[in-house]
């Protein structure tokens, strides 16, 4: 019985790309990045005190600044 993870060394796979120009060596890509599922953010944003407020995602705890107002160029008239 062969398990897929047995075929991968250190949890990373490598791919070899065929050369676009004959005579040039093939290009080897580095380890494939483990794709992490994207967080469906649920932001908790501080009370507006100035031009920006700090927000933190309740799920992944990522932090981000949010504008408290939009400029005239961003408005739909």
Task: Give the tens place of pLDDT for each residue, 40-54.
Answer: 999 999 999 899 999
pTM: 0.44
**E strands within the chain?**
16-17, 27-28, 43-45, 52-57, 63-67
**Model confidence at 7: pLDDT above 50:** no
Structure tokens at 44: 């908790």
Is 40:60 a contact under the CB 8 Å cutoff? no
**Model confidence at 3: pLDDT above 90:** no
């Amino acid at each position: 019985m062969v398990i897929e993870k047995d075929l991968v060394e250190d949890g990373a796979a490598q791919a070899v790309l065929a050369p676009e120009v004959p005579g040039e060596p093939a290009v080897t890509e580095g380890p494939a990045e483990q794709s992490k599922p994207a967080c469906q953010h649920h932001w908790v944003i501080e009370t507006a005190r100035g031009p920006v407020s700090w927000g933190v995602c309740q799920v992944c705890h990522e932090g981000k600044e949010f504008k408290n107002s939009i400029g005239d160029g961003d408005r739909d008239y």
